[in-house]
Structure formats: C-alpha cells, structure tokens
C-alpha cells in the first residue's frame, strides 16, 4: 500500500523522485512506481515558476483517440527514458483508453471524484443511481483495457460493489476499506496543511505545527545571540 505524492515529500523534487522510483524497481519500496512528468497535461508544472505549454494543455482535452494516442506515445517515449511505466487518465474515456492500450501503453483508470476537472469536491456514489453509473463506468474502463482503477472519494458501499465486479485491482483514496490497495497524499497524512483536512485522511503527525515552532525558535535564537554558537562555527587552524 503506497503513499504517493506528486511533490516529493523531502522537497527535493524531480531528481529525488526518480531515485525513489529506482528504489521501487529494486523492491526496496513497496509502493506504486509513480512520479511527476514535467510540462505535460493540464495540471500546473511541478517545477516552481514554470507552466506547461498551452498547446500541450489543449491537446490533452482532445477527444479524438488518434490525436490523444499520438500525444500519449510522445509522453511515454519521453518518460520511459526516466523509468515511467504507464499513464493515468481520469473519467470515462473507453475509446481513448483502447487506442492507447493498442499502442502498447499501459493505462490506469480513475473514477469517482476527478480532481483535474472537478469544480466541487463532493463524495461520489451516494445514491443508487450514482452507484449504477459508477459500476457501468468501471466495467467500461476494464473492458477498454485498464490494468487498475483508482477510486477517489466514493462511498464505502459503492466501492465494495465496484471492487467485487472487477478483475483488475482497485486503489482507493477516501473510499473506505473495500479496495485492493490504499493511497494517501503524504502532505495530508503528515499534517503539512492546516486548513485542509479531508475526512478520509488520518493524520499521523502535525508537521505544520512542528515547522512553525522550529522556525519561531530559530528566530529567537538568532535574536538573542544563542545561534550560531561556537558549536556551529568554523575556526582557523592554530599556527605552531
């Protein structure tokens, strides 16, 4: 069961993420091999101060399977040199998924809350009709060829039904216990954000408080002259 973040937990970015992916290849980390691809897709680039090319952003919203397959091939060719294994697509797009799979590119599906396009973050699968639609979407993606399916913010009851009817594994975030695997955003799990606390997240630490306390203490130490002390200073070599 993995804890995945698009921004490396250590804050060291792209190079560190690739190192983690290599460790995963060596079975030294029991987590999905997922890491950021810079300048692709509709999301903001994970590199500070850098945005994806607008033309590329528009192309990802193209509904033509041939066009999206060409772009996916280009992405995979670029990403494979750094160890990427697959692409993940949000929503019900069976024809596009089929085209990408035919091009020998593995696809992971994503249903429930779709954060890339959602205008409101709300729980999915709350009514019988919602569940029926979700089951229909899940079967369509499996038939299209996804190798696994992410479910996000879906009721536990609906998740159980989806997992039961599928032969491919389900990975849940905010979906209860009835998934084949679980994933959390490490920044939520470690309490790095104070204002955002989703119901489905269990906080194992409150790092934001610890960070604020540490910075406050640092400022005090500098102001009262206790830091840097001799312990943290360098000295010239003594001349004989």
Residue 3 host element (H or E): strand 2-3
What single DSSP character describes residue 102?
Answer: H
CB-based burial, 47-60: b 16+ in 10 Å, e otherwise: eeeeebeeeebebb
CA atoms within 13 A on the CB side of 2: 18
Q: What angle do CA 64, 66, 71 make, to 5 degrees?
A: 95
- Sheet containing 148-152, strands listed edge to edge, beginning at the edge strand earlier in sequence: 2-3, 181-184, 170-173, 148-152, 107-112, 87-90
Got the DSSP string for 175-233?
S-S-SSEEEE-HHHHTT--SS---TTPPPS--HHHHHHHHHHHHHHHHHHT-SS-GGG-
Please tell me whether the peptide bond between 195 and the residue prior to it is cis, using omega within 30 degrees of 0: no
Write down the catalytic residue from 152, 194, 210, 231. 152
Q: Is 152 part of the annotated catalytic residue set?
A: yes
List beta partners, residue 124: 154
> The tokens of 53 are what?
């090319």
Residues marked as catalytic: 152
């Amino acid at each position: 069961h993995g804890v995945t973040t698009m921004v490396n937990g250590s804050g060291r970015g792209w190079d560190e993420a690739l190192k983690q992916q290599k460790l995963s290849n060596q079975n030294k980390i029991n987590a999905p091999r997922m890491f950021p691809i810079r300048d692709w897709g509709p999301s903001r680039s994970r590199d500070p101060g850098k945005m994806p090319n607008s033309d590329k952003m528009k192309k990802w919203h193209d509904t033509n399977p041939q066009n999206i397959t060409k772009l996916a091939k280009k992405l995979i060719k670029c990403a494979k040199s750094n160890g990427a294994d697959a692409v993940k697509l949000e929503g019900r797009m069976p024809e596009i998924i089929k085209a990408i799979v035919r091009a020998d590119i593995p696809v992971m599906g994503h249903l429930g809350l779709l954060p890339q396009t959602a205008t409101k973050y709300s729980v999915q699968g709350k009514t019988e009709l919602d569940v029926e639609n979700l089951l229909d979407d899940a079967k369509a993606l499996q038939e299209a060829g996804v190798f696994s399916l992410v479910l996000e913010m879906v009721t536990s009851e609906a998740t159980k039904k989806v997992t039961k009817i599928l032969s491919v594994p389900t990975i849940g975030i905010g979906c209860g216990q009835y998934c084949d695997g679980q994933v959390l955003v490490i920044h939520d799990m470690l309490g790095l954000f104070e204002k955002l606390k989703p119901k489905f997240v269990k906080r194992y630490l409150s790092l934001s408080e610890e960070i604020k306390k540490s910075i406050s203490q640092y400022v005090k130490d500098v102001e009262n002259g206790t830091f840097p002390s001799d312990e943290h200073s360098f000295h010239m070599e003594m001349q004989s």
